[in-house]
Amino acid sequence: MKRRPLTARGWGCLLSGILLIVAANVLSARPLLYVGLLLAALPVICLLVVRLPRRRGEVHRQVSTDVLAVGETSRVNVRFDLYAFGIPRGTWRDTLPAAVHGDARGDYPEDALRYDLEGVRRGISTLGPLLLRTTDPFGLVQREQAFGDTRTITVIPQTVALIPLPTKVGAAGGTAQTRSTRLGQGADNLIPRPYASGDSRRRIHWRATAHRGDLMVRQEEEEASPDALVVLDRAADRWDRPGDDVDPAFETAVTLCGSVALRLAQDGYSVDVVDSAGVLLGALRGHEEDREDLMIALAMVGPRGEPRDLRTIVGSTPPGPLVLITGRIGDADAEKLSTAGAAAPLLFATSAGETALASVRAHGWHPAVLTADPEDLPALWASALPLSAVHHD
């Protein structure tokens, strides 16, 4: 909201001066005229003094982390270089988006420009600009001016700890195995092979070269790694508030999606996270940056679009664990919900009747009904696991 140039005190002073001028003419009292002119002129003089000088400022923000989860805090240090005639006194305030909460204000120039942020809503938004509000010594006129650029900050979904699967479904003797190339820390997963034209000399395996007498290069061994698939059903008709409005049920579903993906990756799975249209949101392959990329993608998702048949998303090679996270499902939806041949299909829905739950169980799913409270997710996850798979650390 744009502030008016005059403060309440300034308007009072101006109106008092005008009234005294009128009273002086009515009563023919010259002293009242002098006082009235002074009171009416004082706000005008202060307005010129406060608002005419040119000011230029540079703002530099140092954020302890510009990617924080819901409920986490981050420290922001602001360096504000103001170039102006004299040092004005007033208050500063940094503009905060709805995704974060913090007390980003203080006195200028006495207070240090630093504050703490807490993530309250996932999303990508901006900090800034910095607003400086100054007044004249009498408090009659105010000036609020914006300085500096904005700074992007990302609030990622909250995640919760889930119990692991004790056995890797599909890792041995199952139907869902893939061959993925992974570079390990030692030499056990490296197979030396003869040098071929075009190979980088940085990959030369010197020990094998010395042993065989010919140039040998390192080749990553293909290790068996079972696949897991997490599907976040973001179809608009599954949720109460499609679009940009905050839906607590959808927020809990996103939290569960990220938590399940991290849990399966810790259990040794190669995890793909897709939405109900088959769009890849992230993939966890054992690299540290995979987790951050997935969480940033989940920070931006919202209910929209139309769903696809789950079998077309899974493809011809079914995964081991298949986790479907959806909103409300009716009886007709449950009848058509195939597990696509997954070894361990788990279904989490925010709303499902007894008939729908019985139908998905008949298809082989292990269902659970989500609540809007993220603290209930560990118990719901444990209740959905097959009895033979439940394992407590």
Residue 16 and residue 38: Cα distance in Å, rounded? 10
**Is the confidence at residue 276, as pLDDT, over 60?**
yes
**Is the confidence at residue 76, as pLDDT, over 90?**
yes
Residue 33 neighbours by CB under 8 Å, 6+ apart: 20, 21, 24, 25
| pLDDT for the residue 165 | 79
Residues 373, 241 share a domain: yes
Query: Binning pLDDT at 50, 70 and 90, where does residue 288 land?
Result: confident
Position 2 in a domain: no
Q: 183-224, pLDDT tens digit by residue?
A: 333 333 456 778 777 665 556 665 566 557 677 776 644 444
Position 209 in a domain: yes
Position 27 in a domain: yes
Residues 96, 233 share a domain: no
Query: Binning pLDDT at 50, 70 and 90, where does residue 171 land?
Result: very low
Domain extent, residue 76, equals 56-156
Position 163 in a domain: no
Q: Give the end of a domain, one of 223, 244, 278.
A: 223
**Is the confidence at residue 293, as pLDDT, over 70?**
yes
Chain length of the chain: 393
Position 167 in a domain: no
Average pLDDT over residues 312-325: 87
The number of C-alpha atoms within 13 Å of 160 and in the hemisphere containing its C-beta is 18
**Is the confidence at residue 283, as pLDDT, over 80?**
yes
Average pLDDT over residues 351-367: 93
**Is the confidence at residue 229, as pLDDT, over 50?**
yes
Residues 72, 22 share a domain: no
**Is the confidence at residue 97, as pLDDT, over 80?**
yes
Which residue, among 252, 237, 243, has the nearest Cα to 306 in the 3D structure? 237
Which residue, among 97, 91, 92, has the nearest Cα to 66 in the 3D structure? 97
Q: 121-164, pLDDT tens digit by residue?
A: 999 999 999 999 999 989 999 999 999 989 999 999 999 999 98
Please report, for the domain that includes residue 244, its CATH number.
Answer: 3.40.50.410
Q: What is the DSSP letter of 138?
A: T
| pLDDT for the residue 183 | 31
**Is the confidence at residue 170, as pLDDT, over 50?**
no
Residues 276, 354 share a domain: yes
**Is the confidence at residue 260, as pLDDT, over 90?**
yes
Residues 265, 199 share a domain: no
Q: Which of 34-48, 74-88, 217-231 has the highest mean pLDDT?
A: 34-48
Coil vs helix vs strand at 272: strand
Residues 338, 263 share a domain: yes
Position 171 in a domain: no
The number of C-alpha atoms within 13 Å of 170 and in the hemisphere containing its C-beta is 27
Residues 105, 41 share a domain: no
Long-range contacts of 10-13 (CB under 8 A, 24+ apart): 10/43, 10/46, 10/139, 10/140, 10/141, 10/142, 13/39, 13/40, 13/42, 13/43, 13/138, 13/140
Position 189 in a domain: yes
Average pLDDT, the chain: 84
Q: Give the end of a domain, one of 18, 35, 51.
A: 51
Position 165 in a domain: no
Coil vs helix vs strand at 340: coil
Task: Output the six-digit token pair for 175.
Answer: 């139907």
Average pLDDT over residues 240-251: 78
Residues 31, 81 share a domain: no
Average pLDDT over residues 377-388: 85
Q: 6-30, pLDDT tens digit by residue?
A: 999 999 999 999 999 999 999 989 9
**Total-model pTM:** 0.76
Q: What is the DSSP letter of 6?
A: B
Average pLDDT over residues 77-89: 88
Q: Give the end of a domain, one of 223, 251, 278.
A: 223
Residues 318, 214 share a domain: no
Higher pLDDT, 173 or 78: 78
Query: Binning pLDDT at 50, 70 and 90, where does residue 166 land?
Result: low
**Is the confidence at residue 331, as pLDDT, over 70?**
yes
Residues 236, 139 share a domain: no
Strands 366-369 and 105-108: unpaired
Residues 199, 80 share a domain: no
Contact 151, 63 (CB under 8 A): yes
Residues 288, 215 share a domain: no
Domain count, the chain: 4
| pLDDT for the residue 2 | 64
| pLDDT for the residue 188 | 39
**Is the confidence at residue 180, as pLDDT, over 60?**
no
79-102 burial code (b ≥16 CB/10 A, e <16): ebebeeeeebebbbbbebbebbeb
